[in-house]
Chains A and B, each alone.
Chain A
Amino acid sequence: MVREMSAGPSRRRLAGALTALGGVTLLAACAEDAPQDTWQPAGENAQRIQDLQWWVFAIAGAVGLIVFATIAWVSVRYRDRGQPIPRQTHGRPALEIGLTVLPALILVGVAIPTIGTLMDLSRTSDTECVVNVTGQQWWWEVDYPPQEGCGGFSEPIVTSGQMVIPTGTKVLVRGTSRDVIHSWWIPRLNGKRDMVPGRVQTVRLQADRPGIYAGQCTEFCGLSHANMRMEVVALDPADFETWKANQLADYTAPMEGSLAAAGEQVFISQCATCHQVDGLVNADGVPIIAQPQERVFAGAAPNLTNLTTRNTFAGATWDLLTPTCRDDVWNASPEEFGAAYLAGVSADCLNEVDLREWLRNAPAKKPMYADPEQLGPTDGLNRGMPYLALSEAQIDQIIAYLLERQ
């Protein structure tokens, strides 16, 4: 968005002239409401990239137009109209050298700011807050290590699919992977960074305004690569504290005899092997610790302690909110966004359709190598959530239980 740039007047005038030249690719910047538009930066890092790339696009567009205009002119001017056979000249070295040096100079002009931006974007010394992400087929785990940053964390928080950050804060994402290479990309906040098993890679994020910033895994990671998304939710620092306190709140058991209480039992028998819910205890009062490595090849499953404070599930691919409620949150003004997001998923707003389909038969909804024959090389361990043969009654109970995981 050239218009939004904080540029001086002369630069803006130049930009205006070159916008026309940039053609379709440059105009792509002006589309509205594309959640992953790479030309609508919403934070410092993405803005730095934008400041660099718009004029590279403009130069490229201008060069292209000059070339095309020349070819068009040549094809009209020199078409065969019966003129004599032209002189068999083999070229003019001076012109050749000139036309070699000129693009080289243009490219030097591009290279210098490129290197500057590159070095700025790789800086980690000014980090104010660290968040870890771990990719796994086909979802992202997000965890907040104990630290001073982001208002201070005394104990870790583990969540998935959505990363909540305070606005105006320089967040450093440290990422890795548990299986294949994934790529973390929130276009409106920064470029992408591959998350490689065995390595820890970093990428900076900073959001200026509260809101949801969509992203998607961009390194091909197998069967459900298309169904591996993520979102960054920016809350203003006060709302962020509220969110944090809620995440660390004690477990509230369902009311005895309620549907949710039955759901807790189903959850313990069917889900808790893999999915951790902090504070959940068995009949003897012993904490239940999930052992996903016994069932899942990559060794982890999403932590569901506060599932319905998030508004997506299954790799952030499906909404936990009905379309109306979802739009209310996504389109909320920056002032109202925090409250709308922190309201979580209420019974009225729950997108039961997708959640039920998922619980009925997860691999039918999201391809995850359900065929047992394909599990030979993983010794029978699943890649993703298997079919659990839950009854409709059990699904009702689990949904009632999960709705209380606020």
Chain B
Amino acid sequence: MAIIERPVPATSVGPALPTVTPSSSLGVFRRPVAATGWRSWVFTVDHKRLGIMYGVAATFFFVVGGIEALLIRLQLAGPDGTVLSADVYNQMFTMHATSMVFLFAMPMAAAFGNYFLPLQVGARDVAFPRINAFGFWSFLFGAMFVNAGWFLGGAADGGWFMYAPNSGVAYSPSHGIDFWAIGLQITGIASLSGAINLIVTVLNMRTRGMSLMRMPVFTWMILVVQFLLLFAIPVITVALFLLTFQRVFGATFFSVEAGADPLLWQHLFWIFGHPEVYILVLPSFGIVSEVLPVFSKKPLFGYPFVVFSGAAIGFVGWGVWAHHMFASGIGPISVAVFSMSTMAIAVPTGIKIVNWTLTMWGGKLRFTTAMLFAMGLVVEFTIGGLSGVTHSVAPSDTQQTDTYYIVAHFHYVLFGGAVLGFFAGFYYWWPKVFGKCLGERLGKWNFWVMIVGLNLTFGPMHIVGLQGQPRRMYVHTESRAGEGFFNITFWNFAASVGAFIIAISVLLFLINIWHTHRTAPPAPLDPWDARTLEWMTTNPPKAHNFDSVPTVHALDEFFHRKYEDVGEGDEHDLRRVATAEELLAEQEANADHHIHLPSPSYWPVVLAFALPIVGFGVIYNHLIAVVGASIVVLAMFGWALEPSVALDTDYDPPAPDDGPGTELATVGGGRP
């Protein structure tokens, strides 16, 4: 929580706490201590506000990536499309993938993780709140930097996999790939700092009684993802660093004429790229592992199996990268090994599907929108998983790879997996974050339209792929379309129609948000009869999350505080013994007396803002890089010298001795 205790009043009991005498924050500026207004968002270090900001930014890039997808589908709606030129099309599919993977799915997972992970483990913030803020801002500035190419001579056009040597200057003369490579290094800093932050939070800041095997599965999956990020991001950073040097400084890491082997890039990229797939889907696996039990009124079936299969996916995920390279010519022995390891990873994935299904089995199912999206994930992800098994069979994959069959596969995995999971999370946690339930009626329209759109878009891609249509082609032609029921022209048109249906469903979601916030009444404290700790506080939670941090006695602690089994012997008879309101009132009555929260700070946003300046400098003029680097150094000093809690003199008028300078949180009743 990064609480630095300031000298406490003599009335406090217990051992003397170590004291830190804060120095000034470069002594120039007052701390941005406002609790409202735009400053309270830009300079915040609150994990919940940062979570919301991650969510808003990710939603923005979801829309951007969606528009890119719609333009792609417009171009491919008929043969010999003329909506986009070849050049713009190549930029479009490169940036569609980049937006969706790096600028939507990863930050959206960060949004959920940031917001709910501390709540679920009963912490008052993450371990390093200012680093958390720095992570968000470097993600946002990095994302803007990646997209700057659109306005400065063309975006990246080498595909998100950016294979060498096609990513070289000779083959992509615009600065698009430079912006892409440097921008993703900046967002990588965000992922890496976020990963360290959440790992430390989980390992060090769980509340009393919350052993690892009592942690909610969502927190478990986020933890696994952070470890994946911790090891995967450095690999892609190395690759991007080499690429930047290759392009900007004329290095020859991937130059065949200098004796390099272009397959080096492929290995580096996919050693990152395959764990990345699990980075994208595991958060959603975590979300549905929360949603399904709540709406089935049963604990998750086989909790340890789900946890360990998630961890197993995390481990085995490192040993399957070359299945992206079955056609690259890595030799039959390598292909055989990676073929088998890829089949092996289907086992833990299958365990999850089985456990989710058995969670519902024997339950008491309420088909809320959140539940529908979670069940949608189980079904659609299964399709993607099974098509995945068909190309773990390497000889079969040499027919399928780089065709639309693969596009179909990973959209079922990522849209059917990650995106549907996020939507389940939106509907499930919206009342927790914003205090209002999203409309169920519009929500169900949202769900069904999305399911229709998703299957109409990506289902036909199985067909056109098996009919031999390669990916990444800016046109398809009648002469290779075939005739009859499975002709490529018709199914491409169908996929394009489907894409617009998905767009309608996303629009319905946005309308639902707008409508909810205009008309919906405040949500009840515990609208879903939930099971985990984040529901043991107000909607939305107070700045310090819990008035008194709950002690955990069991998995699904909140549920077990509400219900007791009064059955005798083998009989079971669950009776409600407490309401959420009663539990909250009890907690507020026992509120901790002193709750210290870190104060907002300028330095994370300043430091993050300097990074793209360095990037511009690397591309255009090294003097600009020197300016950016100077700001980096300045911000690091400012940050280092700044106390975690604002001084009383930072307030205007200065805070009283016992004021927010020592205690930012508004607490419930006092301890006697």
Question: Residues of A with Cβ closer than 8 Å to B?
Answer: 24-25, 27-39, 46, 48-49, 52-53, 56-57, 60-61, 63-64, 67-68, 70-71, 74-75, 78-80, 83-93, 95-96, 99-100, 103-104, 107, 110-111, 114-115, 117-119, 121-122, 137, 179-181, 183, 185, 187, 190-194, 196-199, 201, 214, 216-226, 297, 319, 367, 369, 374-378, 383
Contacts and interface: CB of A to CB of B under 8 A. Distances in A.
Contact of A34 (B358, B387, B467, B472): B467
A381 B282 CA distance: 48
Given A86-B363, A180-B166, A220 B357 contact: no
Contacts of B256: 197-198
22 contacts: A31-B486, A37-B467, A38-B467, A53-B393, A56-B389, A56-B393, A67-B378, A88-B556, A90-B300, A92-B302, A96-B351, A99-B351, A103-B347, A110-B389, A111-B339, A114-B394, A192-B402, A199-B263, A214-B468, A220-B402, A223-B86, A223-B87
A28 B331 CA distance: 30
Interface stretch (B28-36, B234-242, B475-483): B475-483
A337 B469 CA distance: 26
Given A53-B390, A84-B573, A377-B173, A111 B395 contact: no
A191 B401 CA distance: 9
B482 A118 contact: no
B393 A68 contact: no
Interface in B421-471: 459, 462-463, 466-471
B361 interface: yes
B327 A226 contact: no
Contact of A218 (B158, B363, B403, B484): B403
Contacts of A78: 296, 360-365
A107 B347 contact: yes
Given A91-B355, A376-B173, 16 more contacts: A31-B485, A34-B487, A36-B468, A53-B395, A60-B386, A60-B387, A78-B360, A111-B339, A119-B332, A181-B165, A193-B398, A194-B328, A196-B262, A222-B90, A222-B166, A226-B472
Interface in B375-406: 375, 378-379, 382-383, 386-387, 389-390, 392-403
B42 interface: no
Contacts of B481: 34
Contact of A67 (B174, B343, B357, B394): B357
B483 A32 contact: yes
Contacts of A122: 331-332
A119 B87 CA distance: 40
Contacts of B261: 196, 198-199
B88 to A, nearest CB: 10
A46 B398 CA distance: 10
B231 interface: no
Q: Which residue, of B296, B351, B396, has the highest number of chain A Cβ atoms within 10 A?
A: B396
B361 A74 contact: yes
A111 B340 contact: yes
A224 to B, nearest CB: 6
Contact of B474 (A68, A121, A226): A226
A45 B114 CA distance: 51
A83 B263 CA distance: 59
Interface of B: 85-87, 90, 158-159, 163, 165-166, 169-174, 256, 260-263, 296-305, 327-329, 331-332, 335-336, 339-340, 343-344, 346-347, 350-351, 353-355, 357-358, 360-367, 375, 378-379, 382-383, 386-387, 389-390, 392-403, 459, 462-463, 466-476, 479-488, 555-556, 559, 563, 565, 572-574
3 closest A-B pairs by CB: A36-B468, A191-B398, A34-B482
Contacts of A63: 386
A28 B467 contact: yes
Contacts of A61: 386
Contacts of A378: 170
Given A64-B383, A122-B332, A220 B350 contact: no
B401 A218 contact: yes
A93 B351 CA distance: 12
Nearest to B481: A34
A319 B85 CA distance: 22
A74 B357 contact: yes
B92 to A, nearest CB: 13
B335 A118 contact: yes
Q: Which residue, of A35, A61, A194, has the highest number of chain B Cβ atoms within 10 A?
A: A194
